[in-house]
Each structure stands twice: as structure tokens, then as C-alpha cells.
Structure 1
Amino acid sequence: MMAFTLPSHQVLSWIPVVLIALYAVKIFRRACFGPLRRVPGPWATLFSSLPLRFQAIKARKVFWVHELHQKYGPVVRISPTEIDVADTEAFSDIHKIGSPFLKSPWYVTFRGEVNCFTSSDPKIHGRKRKTLARPFSKTSLRGHWEAMVVDLAKQTVTKIKEEATQGTADLLKWWTFFATDVTGEVAFGEAFGLVESGQKPKFILDLEGVNRARALRAEVAPLYNVVKTCTFGYFDPLGKADQNIERMSFEIMRNARFRDLHKANIISGVLNETDPEDRFSEREAVLEAIMLVVAGSGTTAITLTYLCWAVMFNPAYQKRLEEEVASIGQDLGDAQLEALPFLDAVVRETLRLYGAAPGGLPRTSPNGGCHLAGYYIPEGLTINTQAFSLHRDPLSYHDPFEFRPERYLDGKMDSHAVFAPFGSGSRTCLGIHLAYMELRLAAATFFRECAGVKLADVTTPESMEIVQYFLIAPKAQRCLVTLR
């Protein structure tokens, strides 16, 4: 009896077919028997994460997820292994201090290294946060850096006023320069000179480019890693770019320390800790400083831009704010401004509607699984709680899509409403007090020195429409104003 054999080239040709068939069976089994099959959501999300990735690449991820909540309810499936939750009680459970819901691996995928922001290990995060938190207290910020923020706010508004008097000024550009210089002073001990020069140096341009690429890589991480592996590490443009940024950061740090060894900044603080357990290595300090610049520049600039736009879009609000900031003394101080009720309400309402990072805060479901808003979620899955939806909950906020600062003044706010533009719990943004200080001082300086400023004709609701990758931004990538 003759044995039946296939030629080797035919055997090889069948291998891709078999692999594809096995993968199809795996996807089908996951859809029919997977852990999230009972959670509501589009049928396609049972099979693949492509719908989610597609929306992220289109800069519509938060809008798409919000639309799913409106259709399916407070818990929605957005991929075979990922849900989003828009429930106030569940949000508190997930983000409370001591929560077993740890940061998902997405953060390291996005940033590329472990630091205070990305670490999912509570011990590593706790050690880093303990050391970094001291200089970011409200008292420390006002003692060491308030005068610097005041001075940079004045310089920035002077530049805006000059341009707006002659024609138009781009608030997004100038607030980006302002916030980046502030973070440079706080992190490294020197501003990057953006406000003074009116342009971005190579270090900042490179950092912005890498961050845009990182946001894309986070959405296509499996493909990126496959290509990197198949090329034995030769294809890793972000790795090489990170090395260049790290090298330039070391140069900035050493130059700043050489010029003024006694000037307060985050790097010198963490390097000079007396307790060896709290002291950072030089590389740890530089990575945290880079993260501060990344996290604290674009976010504050975007929020400031939308604050000014939203106020100017409503003449009554603009008049009220201009009168309030004009009523205090010539020298603006953060403590004074914090006590101004309408300014505070404007800042809070801007953060509610236009917080720069309204995305999911991804967490991993704990060992043994959990129950959230009536659904059982097995362990090891990704749970998102996007502020975009929680801040627009009609049960918590009346007219949730309307910019209404007075909601914080009439005493009718729901005490259970989620307000989390800076995250929540033990992972609340370290720079929250610095951000509030910048928002108050910059906004007050702008509306006092540029009273009567108007939106340029090209600055419309359409041009200011939100697009969202990791941070939000105006669709037009600018916000032009004029004093003519």
C-alpha cells in the first residue's frame, strides 16, 4: 500500500491557512464564551478591539464611548477584554485609596518606562509619590514658585496683548509657551525660554513629537512589538528618540545645577533627600522631570485656552469675571485669587467640560474578579472610567453639556457627582495644586490686562470643536483673539 505524502512546498502553503483557522476559532470561542459576553456593547467588540482602536486613531474615542453609554447604559463593553464604567458608586470603588484596582499595563505602553505616573506597583508608586509630593504641596508651591508663575503669566499676557492689539494672538500657542516654561522651572530649575523667544526649542519639539507617536503606539502596541521583534530591535524609533530626550534632559539638569546649585527644583529636591530610601538616582530624577514637563504643559495650556474661549463666548460671563479680577489689588496672589468665587467657579466648570485628559484611566480588575454596577467582571480585564462621560452625567449635572459656572455658586450641586479632571484617590495627579495656581494666575492676569478682548471671527464653535487623542485639543489647533 502506497503512503500518501504532500510535497513540502504544499505543506508550507497550508501553514498560514491552519494558523488563520485556529485564530478564527479562538476569536469565535472568545465571542461566545468570553468573560464579557454578558456585558452590553456593540456585537463587533465581542470579536475584536479594532472598533476601539479605529475610533482612537480618528480622535473620537471618548465620544464613541460616551455614545455607547447613552445607548447601552452605565457599563459597556468596548473590546473583548475591556469595559467602560460611567457609574458614580463604581467609580468610587475603583479609585478609592487602597483600591485593589491597579493601573493597567497601558500606561507603561504609552510612556515606555516606569515612573510615578505609570507604575502599577503600589510600593514603587508609594515610595516615589512620598518623595515627590512634598514640593507639590500648596504651601511649598506658594513659597518657592508662586512668584515665578506670576512673572511668567505677566510676560505671556504682555506678548498676547501686543499681538492682539496689532491683529490677532493665538492663545493656545502662548498658553503652551507659558505652561512649558513653568514646568521647566519647577522640574529642572530653569525655564525653556519659550515665552521670551516666542518659539519652541529642539528639546520641546522632539518631546512633543515623541508623545504624539507614543499615543499612536499605545493604540497599535501589538503590531509595533511584532515588527520590533521581527527586526531584532532595529525597528524601534521611539526607543531611540527616548534615548535622545533623556540625554538632552541630563544636559539641561546639569547646566541648571551648575548655574545655581541652591535654586529650588524637583530634581535637586529628590537627589538631595536625606533618607536614602527616599533619594532618587539621577536617572530616576530625570525621568520624573520629563514626565512633569509632559504631563504639566499641554494639559494646562489646553484647559487655559478653553477657559478663555468659553468665557469670551458669553459676554455676561466675561464682564463678570473682568469686574471680579479688577476688584482686587494690583499685585495678584494665588491665595487672593483662590478666594474669588466666580473665578473659582469658572476654573471648575472649565475642568469639568474641558479637562485636557478626559479619557479612561484604565485599571485592571483585581484577583477574584469584582462586581460593578450589577455586572460581574472577571480578574485581569481592563476597566475604564472616562471623566468625559462622568462629567456629563445628567443625574449629577443639570444641563451637563452647557458651560454654566454658576452651578458651583447656587448650592445645588449633587454631593455625589464625580469631579475628577485630575484623577482620583491615591493616583490623583501630583501637580494638581500647581495646575490650579497656573489656571488662576494666568486667567486673572489675562482678563484684567486684556479687558474687552474678543474672539477673532475665525474662532468659532466649529473651530474649537474637541478632538481627542490622549489629550483633547481644538479642531483648528488654535484659538485666535483680538483687541482691535
Structure 2
Amino acid sequence: MKTSDIYQNERMTKPFIYRASQVRPDQYNVFNSRDKDIHRIKRRMVGQALSDHSIRQFEPTLLQQIDMFLKNILTQSKASSPMNMTPACRHLGLDVIGQLGFGYDLALQTKDEHRFLKDAIVFSNFRINLSMQFPPLIWLRPDYLVTLFPNSIRTRLLAVVKKMIVARLAQPVDAKHDLLSFIAPKLETDLKEIQEGELWPEAVFFFGAGGDTTATALAGAFFYLSRNPDCYRKLATEIRSTFTSADEIRGGRQLASCRYLRACIDESLRMASPVPTTLWREQDPSEDGRRVLIVDGHVIPRGTLVGINIYSLHHNEKYFPNPFTFRPERWLENNESARAAFIPFSVGSRTCAGKPLAYQEISLALAKTLWYFDFEPAPGALGKVGGGNPDGADGKVRKDEFQLREIFGAYNDGPYLTFHRRGQYWEELMGDGN
């Protein structure tokens, strides 16, 4: 199967089922806009906040959030308490996206107030997935029923997004280097206009998509490294021999030289894709109906949805021999077919704009964790959380596979890890951070 037949084909577009992710029927964001010209405009707008230049400027804030993540690990290590990496990574991811999107400190890593957000995003993804699988729900709009209940988790989620936008717009545009600093000057500043205009759908999507996907990828990396000691040792050696201090661990040539780190991340993304679903496409309805559409040698009738399931593609033996084996070395080999079949961020004009940020965040979090700590699976039953059960349901039996439940995004739990402080390096975390 050629991904280019579907995702890099100018004759294809997103089908109507993506309306399931609209906040309002008349509003579109960079993810669900079907019109190519509208998508191009929105992609350019959002892309400014996610460009390499913007990420470099944002890096000090990113490092502050990662240092808080490390301090939480330090607290758990001092108490000899196993740490569940899924909520820890989600708290980190949402704190990062709160800062990058809105210049707002959600403080999930330190306070309980906004921790319901991670469950709200799971609910939102489940609702979207349900509607995409059963399209009549798109027109029934069950989310309107949810908003009738003021304490519903979805209502609370939208209230937090509104609060972040209002707080940010009360500051000078250039006060923070965030998404709103790029798009707010061109858009509405009145709250009612915000909710009815372009800014609202972009903000809701940016917040919901940005934190949770990176969290799944990072938790997956912790799972596979903790269960593959040879890979763990190779990566720890690379990090500890490349850098001479934690201050050096930041974006740049040294981090980019850590090829095994990137290989471990890519292998984790392959095995635990944050979006393990099928990204559906259809022939552009505006195209001349007399033109035949061919995908992988098959004539596709007009109106038929086609797509490639990312989890299935990433576990296809044709491209990835021994697909259920965590082997980062495969990414150090010159394997063009594997590279072509590797699409954790999609491919083509709809490639995820947050890809550079995701790699930067995961790279820094893993590198700094291995600088300060060693880790291993928690003892006993907790150490098995996140893996499959040999006596469990079909497809969930591999104990060394990080278990994902597809809800358009991914729903996961674990791994529980025990962390050990490395030498005296951890003492740096007792101060104000790096």
C-alpha cells in the first residue's frame, strides 16, 4: 500500500465525518477544515506558533515544565514510590500546551484544580470517535445535550479554554510567545466574538490535541525502555557521554547528534502511535466525476471513504520485520520502505503541524530523565500495568506491548516505574531548576 495514493494525492480530501470534531456546526479548525484553501490559511496561521524558530524561543518555558516533571520524579524516588507515567506525562503535556497555546500556567503538575482536563480530553476523543464510526450522530449533535449540564466535564473543559483566552487577551499581544500572540491581532477580542469566530475552534483543538498525543508517545517510550534493558543501557550511555551537564541538554547540535535517542523515539512512536486510528479520506466532491480514482490498483467509487490504519501499518511485517519487537536499531539502517510506512504524524499536506514540538519535548524529557535518574518497572503487579495479559482479550495478550485503546486518539495506562537517583546529579533539582 502506498500512503501517497491517499495522503499525498491532491485529488483526495477529508470526508464529512470530520464534522464530528467541530465545536460548532459553522466553525472549522486546522484539523477538520475540508476546503483546501481554508485549511492552507489555517495551517499557515497555526504553523507560525509551531515553527522551528518559535520552538527555539519557547524552549526556556518548555525546559521549566520538564524540570517540574523531573522534580515530581525526584519526590517519588525519595519516597521509593512507583510512579504511573501516563498521568505524569499527561500533566506535563497539558502544562506545555497551556503555555505554548495561551501563555497560561495550568499547573497540572503541581495542583489538582485542572487535572480533570485529562479526562475531559479522553471524553472528547471518545465522543468524536463514536460519531465518526456512526455518522448519524454528527447531525444529532449529542454534545449539545452535554452542555445542558453546567458541571459536565465537556462544559468545564470549554470554560477553562475560555478562561485562558480571556486572561491572555488582557495582556499585551507580545507579552508571551504563544499561539495567541500570532493570531489574536488578526481576530476578535470580544469574548462573544471569540466564541463565534475563528479563534475559538483553533484554541479548543490546539489545547485538546497538543498535550495528550505527546503524552502517549512519551509514556510509550518509558514503557519500552523499561522493558528492554539493552536498549535502555545504550540510550543512557549515549546521553551521559554526549553531555557533561544538565545545562547542555537543550535543542541544538548536541541533542541532534543523539541518533540512538531519536531511534528510540521513532520506535516508540511506531509501536505506540498516539493516533492509532484510520485517517479517512475521499475523492474531492468538487472534482470532475468522470475522472476515475485509483488507490493501490483498485478503482474507488465516488463517495467511498479510504484510509490506512496507522497501528496496522506500523505493525506490518512487510515494512517492519518482527513488528512487535522493540528494536530502535531498525531506524539506524537505510530502510526506505520502513521510512515510507512510518506515519505517526500523518503525511502530506495534513501532516501534524506539532511534529517538531513533539520531538523536542520527548527528546528533552527522556534525555534529562536519564541524566538524573535510572528507572525500572515497579515490582509486583504494578510493574505489569500497561502491558498485555496473556490470559486476556484477543489482541491484548502481549505482556511486552504497551496497550492502547483507540478512541481516535489513544487511551492508555502505565507504566508504573521505580526511579533511582543517579549519583549526586539529582541535587541540582533541589534549586530553582536549570
Identify the TM-score tier after normalising by the shorter chain.
0.7 to 0.9
Report if the CA contact (8 A) 1:183-1:191 is conserved.
no
- Offset of 1:239 from its aligned partner? 8.1
Structure with larger Rg: 1
Report if the CA contact (8 A) 2:146-2:155 is conserved.
no
Whether 1:356 aligns to 2:274 is: yes
Whether 1:459 aligns to 2:395 is: no
TM, length-normalised to structure 1 = 0.73
TM, length-normalised to structure 2 = 0.80
- 2:166 alignment partner in structure 1: 254
After superposition, what is the alpha-carbon deviation per residue over 1:378-407, rounded to whole angstroms, capped at 9, x for unaligned?
Answer: 111111111212222222222222111001
- Offset of 1:424 from its aligned partner? 0.6
- 2:361 alignment partner in structure 1: 438
Whether 1:390 aligns to 2:350 is: no
- 1:379 alignment partner in structure 2: 302
Report if the CA contact (8 A) 1:185-1:265 is conserved.
yes
Give the 5 Å matches for 1:93-132: 93-96=5-8, 99-113=10-24, 114-132=28-46
Question: Counterpart of 2:300 in structure 1: which amino acid?
Answer: I
Report if the CA contact (8 A) 2:62-2:361 is conserved.
yes
Give the 5 Å matches for 1:26-45: none
Q: Which runs of 5+ in 2 are unaligned?
A: 188-192, 390-401, 421-434
Match of 2:408 among 467, 470, 476: 470
Match of 2:124 among 189, 210, 213: 210
CA change 1:304–1:199 in 2 (3 A) is: farther
Give the 5 Å matches for 1:64-75: none
Question: Counterpart of 1:348 in structure 2: which amino acid?
Answer: D
SS in 2 for 1:300: helix
SS in 2 for 1:379: coil
SS in 1 for 2:109: helix
SS in 2 for 1:382: coil
CA change 1:397–1:214 in 2 (3 A) is: closer
Aligned alpha-carbon RMSD (Å): 2.7
Report if the CA contact (8 A) 1:171-1:480 is conserved.
yes
Give the distance between the partners of 1:106 and 1:118, measured in 2 at CA. Answer: 9
Q: Which runs of 5+ in 1 are unaligned?
A: 1-86, 275-279
SS in 2 for 1:445: helix
Name the structure, 1 or 2, with higher relative contact order (CA <8 Å, separation 6+): 2
Give the distance between the partners of 1:238 and 1:404, measured in 2 at CA. Answer: 46
- 1:237 alignment partner in structure 2: 146
CA change 1:255–1:204 in 2 (3 A) is: farther
Give the distance between the partners of 1:203 and 1:337, measured in 2 at CA. Answer: 32
CA change 1:416–1:211 in 2 (3 A) is: closer
CA change 1:384–1:413 in 2 (3 A) is: closer
Give the distance between the partners of 2:371 and 2:339, measured in 1 at CA. Answer: 35
CA change 1:202–1:341 in 2 (3 A) is: closer
Report if the CA contact (8 A) 2:101-2:178 is conserved.
yes
SS in 2 for 1:451: strand
CA change 1:296–1:223 in 2 (3 A) is: closer
- 2:250 alignment partner in structure 1: 333
- Offset of 1:200 from its aligned partner? 3.3
Whether 1:483 aligns to 2:419 is: yes
CA change 1:397–1:190 in 2 (3 A) is: same
Give the distance between the partners of 1:177 and 1:125, measured in 2 at CA. Answer: 30
- 1:420 alignment partner in structure 2: 343
Report if the CA contact (8 A) 1:137-1:433 is conserved.
yes
- Offset of 1:322 from its aligned partner? 1.2
CA change 1:286–1:191 in 2 (3 A) is: farther
The farther-off stretch of 123-132 and 329-338 is 329-338
- 1:17 alignment partner in structure 2: none
Report if the CA contact (8 A) 1:149-1:441 is conserved.
no
- Offset of 1:312 from its aligned partner? 1.1
Question: Counterpart of 2:318 in structure 1: which amino acid?
Answer: L
- Offset of 1:281 from its aligned partner? 6.1
Whether 1:157 aligns to 2:70 is: yes
- Offset of 1:420 from its aligned partner? 0.7
SS in 2 for 1:376: strand
Question: Counterpart of 2:250 in structure 1: which amino acid?
Answer: G
- Offset of 1:374 from its aligned partner? 2.4
- Offset of 1:415 from its aligned partner? 6.4
- Offset of 1:354 from its aligned partner? 0.9
SS in 1 for 2:417: strand
CA change 1:210–1:399 in 2 (3 A) is: closer
- Offset of 1:478 from its aligned partner? 2.6
CA change 1:260–1:174 in 2 (3 A) is: farther
SS in 1 for 2:306: strand
- 2:59 alignment partner in structure 1: 146
CA change 1:281–1:311 in 2 (3 A) is: same
- Offset of 1:413 from its aligned partner? 4.9
Give the distance between the partners of 1:219 and 1:299, measured in 2 at CA. Answer: 21
